[in-house]
Amino acid sequence: MRPLYIDGVSGCRVVFDDPALRIIVPEQADRLFPLQRISRVVCQGCVDWSMSALLVCADKGIQLLFLKNNGEIRARWLSWSGERQSLTQRLVDLLSRANGPELYANWYLSMEKLAARSFARRIGVSDWRERSVAELRRQLRIGLGNEGWQRAQLLQSILYSELLVWLPEYGFERDNEVLMSAEFDLAADLSKLLMWDYYLTLLNHDESETGTSLQTIAALFQLQNDRCHSLFRSSINKLHQFLLKVS
């Protein structure tokens, strides 16, 4: 299965045409994408979805992510997950404790420091052990420039959509109320951590070849998808160890 990326334009519609999604764009030939081949869907800009198309994606376990024109996340449509998973329950139990959110925040900050310092070492910062995350982020923002930062935001949104698929496969429910709350978003937290590995790619990539379209950034994301998945597994293992330690 592969992700489906849709660059929205005025009049773009997605409808259910059993057993596929039909994408309709004015003055273009319709395109059909069989549901069995779709892992998730990422839409940027103006895309009108029929209710039948939304519901069949929910039934088939296909996650949808809707992005603003600048690549920021606007909304997500989560499909049905199965029975309660043990990792979900451990995390929910932690967050329900009085000091749980603080313990999780401390774990996340330690992971963020590791990821940022790894990035600093790889780009040749001499005092990478002493640099704070805030300092490195400011330096990164300057190095990328406005257009590079826009590409980074779009790439992080694509990474976020991938994590919505990966997390249930590793024991986290996609429809748990706590994990879906506005106050806590595990996929968002992990996307920020894993993005440090992509910043080096963005800094070294030729801007004239990259662009800012959804399809182009998605192709850039796929170039190191395997490495990203390996880092994701490592992060989940560390989270699991942390949850076992504090439970």
**Residue range(s) defining the domain that contains residue 52:** 2-77
- Residue 137, token pair as written in the block: 């982020």
What 3-state class would DSSP assign to 170?
A: coil
Start-to-end CA distance of the chain, whole Å, equals 36
Residues 166, 222 within the same domain: yes
63 shares its domain with 178: no
What are the structure tokens assigned to 48, written together? Answer: 């009108």
- Co-location of 37 and 117 in the same domain: no
Band of the pLDDT at 13, cuts 50, 70, 90?
very high
Sheet holding 20-24, edge to edge: 31-34, 20-24, 13-17, 48-49
Interatomic CA distance for residues 68 and 188, integer angstroms: 16
Based on the domain organization, do 28 and 54 belong to the same domain?
Answer: yes
108 C-beta neighbours (distance < 10 Å), count: 17
- Domain stops at, among 77, 102, 124: 77
The answer to whether residues 57 and 100 belong to one domain is no
Per-residue tokens: 49: 């979805």
Domain boundary residue, one of 33, 50, 77: 77
The answer, yes or no, to whether residue 193 has pLDDT greater than 90, is: yes
238 pLDDT tier (thresholds 50, 70, 90): very high
Q: Are 140 and 73 in the same domain?
A: no
- The answer on 115 and 10 residing in a single domain is no
- From residue 101, alpha-carbon distances to 8, 29, 47, 108, 192 in Å are 38, 50, 36, 10, 18
Residues 183 and 240 in one domain: yes
Together in a domain, 102 and 47: no
Distance CA 88, CA 168 (A): 9
- At 209 the pLDDT is 57
C-alpha 87, offset from chain centre: 19
pLDDT digits (tens, 9 = 90+) for 137-178: 998 999 888 888 989 999 999 999 999 888 888 877 666 666
Q: Give the pLDDT confidence score for residue 59 in this predicted structure.
A: 83
**How far apart (Å, rounded) are the C-alpha atoms in residues 178 and 59?**
22
Domain count, the chain: 2
Domain boundary residue among 24, 47, 77?
A: 77
pLDDT band at 211 (very low <50, low <70, confident <90, very high): low
Residue 82's pLDDT is 42
Read off the pLDDT of residues 67-125 as tens digits, 9 standing for 90 and up: 998 888 888 887 655 433 467 888 888 988 899 999 999 999 999 999 999 999 998 88
Mean of the per-residue pLDDT values of the chain: 87
54 has a pLDDT exceeding 50: yes
| Shared domain check, 123 and 227 | yes
Residues 55 and 127 in one domain: no
Domain holding 51: CATH number?
A: 3.100.10.20
157 shares its domain with 216: yes
**CA 138/CA 116 separation, integer angstroms:** 12
Report how far Cα 74 is from the mean position of its chain's Cα atoms: 13
pLDDT of residue 25: 94
DSSP 8-state class, residue 84: P
